Every structure is written in C-alpha cells, then in structure tokens.
Amino acid sequence: MKNSVLFDNVRLGPYTLRNRIVLPPLTRSRSSQPGNIPNDLMADYYRQRTGAGLMVTEGTQIEPRGQGYAWTPGIHSPEQVEGWRRVTDAVHAEGGIIFLQLWHVGRVSHTSLQPGGAAPVAPSAIPADNVKVFIETGPGQGALALPSPPRALTTAEVKELVQLYAQAARNALDAGFDGVEIHSANGYLVNQFISAHTNRRDDEYGGSLQNRLRFLREVTQAVADVVGKDRMGVRFAPLFATTEEDRVYLGLVEEDPHKTYIEAVKVLEEVGIAYLSLAEADWENAPELPEDFRADVRKAFSGKILYAGKYTPERGVRVVEAGWGDLIAFGRPFIANPDLPERIAHSCPFNPVDPATMYGGTDKGYTDYPAYQD
C-alpha cells in the first residue's frame, strides 16, 4: 500500500507529517513509582514507533486528582517533566513528532488514587457506572475496581482547573513536546462537563448546552494561549450507541449526539486549533459514525480531522478518500507492531496483541514486539 493516500505528507500547524498514520493515546501504565514518572522503558517504546506521522502520548494526568488508573504518568511535577524529556529526546532523535495528551479523569477515579484518600472531583456528585478504574493492591500488583462516589467542584475550583490545564501545557513545552492534545472523550472530566448525564450544575458551567460547553471552551483557549492554537488538538468520542460489554472506559451517549458534538466542534473552530480527533466506538460489531455526522463535522471544522477506532488500513483509506478525515490512528495494531507504517506500506501481516500485558508490567508485551522479518 506504499502508494496509498496514507503515505501522503500532511501539514499540521507548523509541522510536515511524513504520513497520515497516527499513534493514538494508549494507556499502558508503565511509569516509575513512586511519583508516576516517565522512564527509559517508555522512551524506548515511543522511539520504536516514530514511523508514525504523528504520535500522541498516553493520557497524562495534569494534576494528582486527575488520575484514575494506577501507574499512569503525570505532567505536574519537575521529576515527571524531566522523565518526559527523555521520551521527547528519543523521539526527536528519530525525526518523530510527538504531542502530549492532557488528561483529567474527573469522577472516574478511586479514593486510593486521590491525594489524602479524598473523593474524586466532578462537575456534579453523580457516581460513574458501567466503567472500572485500576487501583494498586501491592507493589506492581493491581486490580480493577468500581469508581468511588465523587464530590461536585465549586465554581472557583472549576476556574482553578482551567489554569491547571494551562500549567500542564507549559510543563509539556518544558518537557520538549511538539504540541498537546486535550482529552475530552470517553466520559472523563471535560466530557463530564459537556454531558447532560453528568453535569447537573446550576452555575455558568451547567444547564444549557452552551453552558455545558463553557469548560471545554475555557480550557481549549487557555491551552492555546500557552502552546499556540496551531500546535494542539482536542479528542472527542461522539457515541451514537453503547454496549453491554464489560469495559474499562467507554463514554456517554447524549440525547442528541449529532447536535451536541457539532456545537462542541464549533467551539474548537472558534479557537482555531490544528486538529480534531474523533474516537469512534471500538467494541465488537460497533456501528460506524453516521455519514451525515462526518460530513457536518467537516463543514464545521477547517483544521485537520483525525479518526480512530478499530481502523484497518483499507477503512482508513476510504475515510480519507471520502474527504471526511486527514489522519488515521491505529491503536492495538501499533501496540503489537512497532514498525506498523512499514508493515502497512508492504502489506505485511501484523503481530497479534497480547491482552495480558496491556496495562502495567515490564518490557514484556511493551517493547519486545518484533519488527517484521522477511
């Protein structure tokens, strides 16, 4: 497939990407403890995958309360910034382009992960259901657990959180990242503000759809003011259906997902960010996004559009050629195939993913997947 549109050069803000293939954010829980610090093993993992036109890191908590899973890395301490610098140095040495994903889980957390064992924070005190968190049960040992009931943020605390996103973006630049992506998907904090299911606030951040989009607008603008609007993206998961499958994360299905997300996309267009990332439903036999939604997103947004969610190279080509998307992310295939772009180019078979080594652990199932040998 080396002549396919997937191997076109693409402009993204100030950068020229070597292809349309993206390493999306993938939680792997390999940071060093204590302190959730990125390490040499992580640097090696990202370095192996620099064949991607764009790389986006795993979700990275912007502050201690933003963590919902054991051993995920942060971007709020000097040690974490230093650890991430090892990663960006390794990636840049190979000519790669890497953005950091700014993450806050909001209510999808557990008291054992929160500072002082406090309740997780959220727009409203509504517990998360249908999802699990991952907590440490001993050194290097963990287990899935139900999220703890959250408490509602005060208006002043919401405004402070906007500034915490801006500070995390400054830290990302200090760590050498080329840009950042705001995680606004999968039922985490920004998504919790957007959704009528999780936001019952009666201040300026709740009520009408425009009020529920206010936190997204303020965070996006604050981060753009730090990194530059042409060096950032935002990720949404506009679900039009759900599943009964047992899952670690999922998202929220709005009463009118089409309207909710087109209005959210318009917020991003007003700020003028470089790209929009859309994470599609990725469970077994999940429906594709409606074509009229894809077309309306393209009309509403003038930046680059990235699609992710169980994509094959063939499906990626179809979405690009239809004019709906510009960049295609491959998650699980990239976990198991560090040389994924090469494999796609030469139509080589893919290594299968080992589900047992997905979260936490050592180099096994992380940096030891082989490159293709003829």
pLDDT band at 247 (very low <50, low <70, confident <90, very high): low
Is the pLDDT assigned to residue 213 strictly greater than 70? yes
The residues near 190 (Cβ < 8 Å, ≥ 6 apart) are 104, 182, 183, 184, 215, 216, 219
Q: Which residues does 336 contact at the CB level (< 8 Å), separation at least 6?
A: 350, 351, 352, 353, 354, 369
pLDDT, position 215: 99
Q: Looking at 188, 261, 275, 307, which residue is catalytic?
A: 188
With 0-12 CB in 10 A as exposed, 13-18 as middle and 19+ as buried, what is 291? exposed
**In the structure, what pLDDT confidence band is assigned to residue 286 with cuts at 50, 70 and 90?**
confident
Which tokens sit at 185? 């998907």
Mean pLDDT confidence for 48-60: 98
Q: What's the pLDDT at 282? A: 83
Give the per-residue pLDDT at 130.
85
Q: Is the pLDDT of residue 132 over 90?
A: yes
pLDDT tens column, 312-360: 999 999 999 999 999 999 999 999 999 999 999 999 999 999 999 999 9
Asked if 148 contacts 125 with a C-beta cutoff of 8 angstroms, the reply is no
Instruction: Tell me which architecture the domain covering 5-357 has in CATH.
Output: Alpha-Beta Barrel (3.20)
Express as a percent the part of the chain with pLDDT over 90: 92
Sole residue written with tokens 């009309």: 299
Rounded to an integer, the average pLDDT of 158-169 is 99
Question: What's the whole-number mean pLDDT along residues 150-170?
Answer: 98
Average pLDDT over residues 178-199: 98
Q: Report the percentage of the chain scoring pLDDT > 70.
A: 98
* pLDDT score, position 248: 62
In this predicted structure, what is the pLDDT of residue 251? 80
pLDDT at residue 373, rounded to an integer: 87
What pLDDT is stored for residue 249 in this prediction? Answer: 66
Average pLDDT, the chain: 96
Enter the pTM of the model.
0.98
Per-residue model confidence as pLDDT tens digits over 265-283: 999 999 999 999 999 988 8
**Residue 25 and residue 75 in contact, taking contact as beta carbons nearer than 8 Å:** no
SS3 at position 93: helix
* CA gap 83, 104 in Å, rounded: 19
Dig out the tokens for 20 from the structure: 């349309």
Per-residue pLDDT of 58-67, as tens digits, reads 999 999 999 9
User: What is the rounded average pLDDT of the residues 231-251?
Assistant: 84
Is 188 an annotated catalytic residue? yes
